[in-house]
Copies of this chain bind each other. A is one copy, B any other.
């Protein structure tokens, strides 16, 4: 078997943890498996490098920033190789140039295009553990790029796909995917299995265990992903195309607090109104999340949408700056709101799930400000202060702790 294992920055933050990572990999290796390890930069190293850069130049170029940041993972993999060596197991570290991790050309947020596996296979054939820098790639100019948020997860999944690995294990500081955030729901349960689509919805909705780019890629290439703890030996959560065990209607409840709702009231009800509004926001690099459009009075329409809380003021400014083009009557911004979502592939064949969600919120006396649904998800926007109550109520009514 060929296993790809990815460890984040906290897992390699110091000598003891690097040795812990090495020992876990050696266990796998000594069963006769081939092991490829993906590492992030140690602990706070990326943050420290960013600070060094900002000290030199408040607005460093992305190309040079990537040149600087890639030293972080290279440090991790070299030190890890030394730890394997000290434990008597042959290992070799490789960076993005050595593997040849081809990406798109945009610095700081590149996408992986093609991975050469020749060097890795050559080293595996010699029974070495291969340690690869996560997060980084090279572009067509022969320059370093980085993959943006969740980049090392993406490296791991892409390498697992390219190597046709039998499994790709993502080690984090939690031991798997839960039915809800255990800090919010006392009796949240760890899921042994979850589908890619459910995980995608959970990731997007702030469950924070895996970045959605890596889940999308795993789904696309059929990589069997496992999320597990780097600190315990417990089984984690397996991501699959289809979950075979008998399942609850709902897999989990997710919440995301940092939201703001912006309402644009009395827009003229003509074609192109929504386009102009969201085009202005997109041009200002503001990501819009939930969107609700409704017909207003006297040939007008109202559009409400949510953005990440930090961007609320920017969004308001963009709309005000475009008032003459957009022609609206009133602009409202409500901060301190939150999304609560129930996610589950079982929803598709079971009508009435949304109704049950709304009923439970009504019973808890929670006011719903907006609703958005997909085939496997129901999301409501509520007051931030009521998130704990709402998540617990949903978790209970769908019997997730049973």
Instruction: Using CB atoms and an 8 Å cutoff, list the residues of chain A in contact with chain B.
Output: 15, 18, 49, 52-53, 55-58, 60-61, 63-65, 67-68, 70-71, 74-75, 77-79, 81-83, 85-86, 92-93, 95, 97-98, 119, 142-143
Contacts and interface: CB of A to CB of B under 8 A. Distances in A.
Most buried by B among A64, A77, A83: A64
B98 A81 contact: no
Q: Is the interface of A mostly helix, strand, loop or mixed?
A: helix
**A-B pairs with the 5 shortest C-beta distances?**
A68-B78, A71-B71, A57-B82, A67-B78, A57-B86
A226 to B, nearest CB: 27
Given A56-B18, A71-B71, A142-B119, A82 B97 contact: no
Given A79-B52, A97-B97, A143-B98, A60 B74 contact: no
Nearest to A70: B74
Contacts of A79: 52-53, 56, 68
Contacts of A74: 67-68, 70-71, 74
Contacts of A75: 49, 52, 68, 71
Contacts of A58: 86
Contacts of A98: 142-143
A93 B81 contact: no
A78 B64 contact: yes
16 contacts: A18-B56, A53-B79, A56-B79, A57-B82, A57-B83, A57-B85, A58-B86, A60-B82, A61-B81, A63-B92, A64-B81, A68-B74, A68-B75, A68-B78, A71-B71, A119-B142
A81 B55 contact: no
A56 B15 contact: yes
A13 to B, nearest CB: 13
Contact of A82 (B64, B78, B93): B64
Interface centre among A56, A95, A119 (most CB of B within 10 A): A56
Among A53, A57, A82, A83, chain B packs the most CB atoms within 10 A around the CB of A82
A61 B77 contact: no
Given A67-B81, A74-B71, A56 B97 contact: no
A119 B143 CA distance: 11
A61 B78 CA distance: 10
A343 B83 CA distance: 49
A193 to B, nearest CB: 37
Contacts of A143: 98
A79 B58 CA distance: 12
A58 B58 CA distance: 39
A95 to B, nearest CB: 8
Contacts of A86: 56-58
A77 B74 CA distance: 16
A177 B67 CA distance: 36
Contact of A56 (B49, B77, B83): B83
A26 to B, nearest CB: 15
Given A64-B81, A67-B81, A68-B78, 20 more contacts: A18-B56, A49-B75, A56-B79, A56-B82, A57-B82, A57-B85, A60-B82, A61-B81, A61-B85, A63-B92, A67-B74, A67-B78, A67-B93, A68-B75, A68-B79, A71-B75, A74-B74, A97-B142, A98-B143, A119-B142
